[in-house]
Amino acid sequence: MAHSLHLGLFAALALSATTAFAAPATVTVENKTRPTACAEEDNVSMVLRGQGITGFRVEALQPSYIDRIEKDVTAPDFSACNFDGGAHPTDPSYKFKQRRVVLYDGPQWMIVGMTLPSFWRPNRVPVRVGARSGNDFHLVQVFAKSKEKDGKPMEALVLYPADGYWRLKPLPLPRFGDGVYGSSFLMGPVQDAGRPVVDISSITIQTQPLSFRLRFANGGSASVKVAEISQARTALDVSLHPPTQKSRPFAVLRSMFVSMDNADVSELTWQSTPSAAQETKPLPEISSIEAAQVRFARTTPSRHNTSAPDIRFSDFETARRN
């Protein structure tokens, strides 16, 4: 009996000696922006890379000038574009049967799957919420039932299963109606398919607590917990498996920049380490930075998507063993 106890104690000590724990990390952010005069074109690509990243947080935050907005300009502006609101002229077009399916409707959330009549990729990704599912949705929308809006469902999150794009926004302040999206982003093994994409093989959504389980075509996976939806922020806590390799981006922010007053992101604010002083530079002046947290922001009110949120990546972690 004593011998067995000693063996059990030894095994427990050995297990504890190799327990993984999260350690703060920094990532490299590369600016791959190209010039454009079109306010409806995603010409901004901010590429995030890091070695061994296993988790991080991404948030949509109200712009710092939100209280100074006199007129919220949310209408699209195709005045300097070579397309007029339809598909981009360089995109392929695959046809689908249009539909809208309420996948879940509960006291806090409503989750909707939408299939568009056409989309630029043919990919069909199985999406499941409880007993309801579909494999042809181009948008999965999450609506929060806002107390501030008398229980009206307010859209706060959209995931595009066929190309891996996400969009977030906080719940809008009362005077801003339904609010507006700005920048989008990708999370997972990013690759180039004419534009950055993440190939997802399946999506499972849990409603209590609200979270997404993504399996990627390369065999990896991500767990995305919706940590908060409020007027201050919509926040996601992301876990990646396996840990990232620095040779491949694990996230890309996609946005628009024409000028400092016509942009969905016009400057970056970041800390190079968790204890470093905060730095801010205009987007065109940045080629690459090392960051423990980075906010893709605007301090000059934009004449495009004026109230659209800032997007911040933070709390990068690696798994280490003691």
pLDDT of residue 176: 87
pLDDT, one tens digit per residue, over 185-240 is 999 999 999 899 999 999 999 999 999 999 999 999 999 999 999 999 999 999 99
Q: What is the pLDDT of residue 15?
A: 45
Q: What CA–CA distance (Å, rounded) separates 86 from 97?
A: 18
Which one, of 264, 227, 233, 111, lies nearest residue 170 by Cα? 233
C-beta separation of 315 from 50 below 8 A: no
263-272 pLDDT, tens digit per residue, is 999 999 999 9
Q: How many CB atoms lie within 10 A of CB 248?
A: 12
Could you list the pLDDT tens digit for every one of the 322 residues in the chain? 444 445 444 444 444 445 567 799 999 999 999 999 999 999 999 999 999 999 999 999 999 999 999 889 989 898 889 876 666 667 889 999 999 999 999 999 999 999 999 999 999 999 999 999 999 999 999 999 977 667 789 999 999 999 999 999 999 998 888 899 999 999 999 999 989 999 999 999 999 999 999 999 999 999 999 999 999 999 999 999 999 999 999 999 999 999 999 999 999 999 999 999 999 999 999 999 999 999 999 999 999 999 999 999 999 999 866 5
Q: Quick one: how far is CA 93 from the chain centroid?
A: 25
What was the pLDDT predicted at 83?
A: 77
* Omega of the bond leading into 242 within 30 degrees of 0 (cis): yes
Contact 194, 321 (CB under 8 A): no
Cα–Cα distance for residue pair 280/300, rounded to 1 Å: 13
pTM: 0.91
Q: Pull the structure tokens for residue 230.
A: 């409020």
